[in-house]
Structure 1
Amino acid sequence: MNNEELILQMLGKISDKLEEHDKHFESIDNRFESIDNRFESLETDVRHTRMLIEKQEHNVQLIAEQYGDISAKLERVREIDELRDRVRTLETVVRNHTVSIKELRKAE
């Protein structure tokens, strides 16, 4: 085997090794591409989640604002209920007194 054949043989081995490395790098590139796609999907999910959280924060703020109004209305309802109870008591007393007065007038 002369030098030229030896060089060609070595170049063939080097070429085979380079092809192996190319395939390996291609495999690595494919894995990185897959990872990039997953990160893009994850980033989309994170953006969507942030939007949902911001919307919920806004809804919670609206509920908190409405709670004050509802609380004031409930207090007013309690006051009205208390007044109704007092009026019922007064009506009962007036009815009883009216009956008593009628009986006293009859007795005269």
Structure 2
Amino acid sequence: MRFKKSSWIISLTSLLVSILLTIIQKDFSLTALSDNLFLFTLFFLIIGGFLWVFSSGFFDNFQRSFKKRNKKTKTEGMKLSEVGRSSFRFWLEPAGILLLLSLLTLLLAIF
């Protein structure tokens, strides 16, 4: 899988901020660095996961049924599956890179 340049830049920036936070906390260990990296991973993973679920079309039936119930709304809005169709990869790629870095630092801390 080929990652975009922006994913690498975001991941590198998150890594540097995580290292800086670990140093500021005065608890510089690989376990603390792994914890901080995982917190950055959660941010990207939660947003990307929500957008992925929306783009799968899971909520389209709920949205359609609510529109049928409220027939007074005549405007045709965008489907929820179109909201995050192209942007969920932007959030999940840095999450994957940061998760691998977090697991790598955790493995290095164990050994």
- The answer to whether TM tops 0.5 is no
Give the helix-richer structure, 1 or 2: 1
Higher relative contact order (Cα pairs below 8 Å, separated by 6+ residues): 2
Q: TM-score, normalised by structure 2?
A: 0.29
State TM-score, norm by structure 1.
0.29
